[in-house]
């Protein structure tokens, strides 16, 4: 099973929302060991498991136990992405929604939204996100309604909101924020709206653009599937190296495909098995040399090499220095950083009265 990830656009929108709300966005990222430069990473995807840590950090920095609801009010409208273009270029809101649901993993691998017809109203349900992500559910629901209003020229109005978590504040505040009844401790997260909205025509419908947008969405999903394969192979490499050796045939067997198929699919993803093994060994060796006191002999074993001399040659080829030189360099860098922090703390504790 590939690791679930979220599109980087969610983090970028949250960052802007924090700025709009007067929250120290950089401090929130710092709590997570990140800085704002991550927002500039092309095709950024973040681990979905990190959502829980993000919202804990945001609640801590903002000192707001209802930060999900409050941040949602400051969320920018979701724009400039292929899902928006699918909505706008479709004949009507219902067809745009169907297409967006087909490609929802572009926004998040954890998205499992489904549409249920209940006669004169429909229910858009997201069964996946759990009770531990109450802030995320509330913020995303606010953002979803803003987006639906945007693509329908303000015709969209929610009839009823459901959340799986318990009520965390004043019910009246929730109902004012969403403009409709809000229910908690429900089996799923979702929103009811009038079924007539499904046939609402799009003023931006354009068949030729729609075909182009669907092609673009399909290409982006295919790219994610290639990344999934590489991530699965990397995890199996890590597991197999623990027992001594990782080879193409065994990884292919674990994936339930032929070695030839795996080789072809990795080539299609722009890499190959030997390169993935080398990259993993290099990263592991650097981490062990810089962050542990493991002996070189033990690192040779942990990285799957049979002889220290082979490891030394490979590491020199990867990094441009020997393992001992690399460990010494990282130790010197850490010592210099410690001295800098100590000096900075000293200045803060004893400011110049002049």
CA distances (Å), 339 to each of 83, 279, 293, 335, 342, in order? 50, 32, 21, 6, 5
Alpha-carbon distance of 191 to 61, in angstroms, equals: 30
Alpha-carbon distance of 142 to 66, in angstroms, equals: 13
Instruction: Give residue 1's pLDDT.
Output: 52
Average pLDDT, the chain: 91
| Order of strands, sheet of 114-117, starting from the edge strand that comes earlier in the sequence | 114-117, 121-126, 189-194, 158-162, 182-183
pLDDT band at 42 (very low <50, low <70, confident <90, very high): confident
Instruction: Please give the average per-residue pLDDT across 168-181, as a whole number.
Output: 90
Instruction: Please give the average per-residue pLDDT across 35-50, as a whole number.
Output: 91
Instruction: Give residue 222's pLDDT.
Output: 92
Alpha-carbon distance of 87 to 151, in angstroms, equals: 7
CA-wise closest residue to 97 among 75, 77, 114, 78:
114
Instruction: Give residue 129's pLDDT.
Output: 56
Instruction: Please give the average per-residue pLDDT across 63-67, as a whole number.
Output: 94
User: Could you report the per-residue pLDDT of 150-169, keeping only the tens digit for each?
Assistant: 999 999 999 999 999 988 77
Instruction: Give residue 43's pLDDT.
Output: 86
Please report the sign of the dihedral spanned by the C-alpha atoms of residue 86, residue 81, residue 109, residue 190.
negative
Return the C-alpha torsion angle 293, 295, 299, 301, nearest 10.
Answer: -140
pLDDT band at 349 (very low <50, low <70, confident <90, very high): low
pLDDT band at 337 (very low <50, low <70, confident <90, very high): confident
**32: DSSP letter:** T
To the nearest whole percent, how much of the chain has pLDDT over 90? 73
pLDDT band at 170 (very low <50, low <70, confident <90, very high): confident
From the centroid of its chain, how far is CA 135? 16
Instruction: Give residue 130's pLDDT.
Output: 59
Q: Helix, strand or coil for residue 189?
A: strand
User: Could you report the per-residue pLDDT of 231-272, keeping only the tens digit for each?
Assistant: 899 989 988 887 767 889 999 999 999 999 999 999 998 999
Instruction: Give residue 251's pLDDT.
Output: 92
Instruction: Give residue 179's pLDDT.
Output: 93
Alpha-carbon distance of 277 to 306, in angstroms, equals: 15
């Amino acid at each position: 099973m590939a690791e679930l990830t979220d599109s980087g656009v969610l983090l970028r929108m949250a960052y802007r929302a924090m700025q709009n709300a007067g929250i120290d966005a950089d401090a929130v990222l710092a709590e997570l060991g990140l800085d704002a430069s991550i927002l500039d990473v092309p095709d950024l995807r973040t681990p979905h498991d990190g959502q829980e840590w993000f919202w804990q950090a945001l609640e801590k920095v903002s000192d707001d136990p209802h930060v999900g609801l409050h941040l949602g009010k400051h969320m920018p409208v979701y724009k400039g992405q292929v899902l928006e273009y699918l909505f706008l270029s479709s004949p009507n809101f219902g067809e745009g929604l169907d297409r967006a649901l087909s490609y929802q993993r572009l926004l998040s691998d954890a998205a499992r939204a489904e549409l249920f017809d209940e006669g004169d109203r429909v229910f858009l349900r997201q069964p996946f996100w759990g009770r531990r992500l109450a802030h995320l559910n509330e913020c995303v629901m606010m953002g979803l309604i803003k987006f639906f209003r945007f693509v329908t020229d303000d015709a969209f109005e929610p009839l009823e909101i459901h959340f799986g978590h318990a009520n965390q504040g004043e019910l009246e505040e929730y109902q004012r924020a969403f403009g409709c009844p809000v229910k908690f401790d429900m089996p799923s997260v979702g929103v009811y709206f009038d079924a007539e909205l499904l046939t609402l025509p799009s003023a931006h419908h354009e068949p030729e653009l729609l075909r182009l947008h669907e092609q673009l969405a399909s290409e982006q999903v295919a790219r994610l599937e290639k990344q999934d394969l590489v991530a699965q192979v990397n995890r199996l490499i890590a597991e197999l190296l623990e027992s001594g050796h990782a080879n193409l045939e065994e990884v292919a067997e674990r994936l339930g495909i032929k070695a030839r198929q795996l080789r072809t699919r990795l080539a299609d993803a722009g890499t190959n098995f030997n390169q993935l093994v080398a990259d993993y060994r290099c990263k592991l060796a650097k981490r062990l040399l810089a962050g542990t006191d493991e002996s070189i002999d033990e690192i040779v074993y942990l990285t799957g090499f049979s002889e220290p001399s082979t490891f030394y040659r490979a590491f020199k080829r990867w990094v441009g220095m020997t393992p001992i030189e690399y460990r010494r360099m990282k130790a010197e860098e850490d010592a210099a950083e410690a001295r800098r922090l100590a000096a900075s703390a000293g200045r803060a504790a004893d400011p110049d009265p002049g």
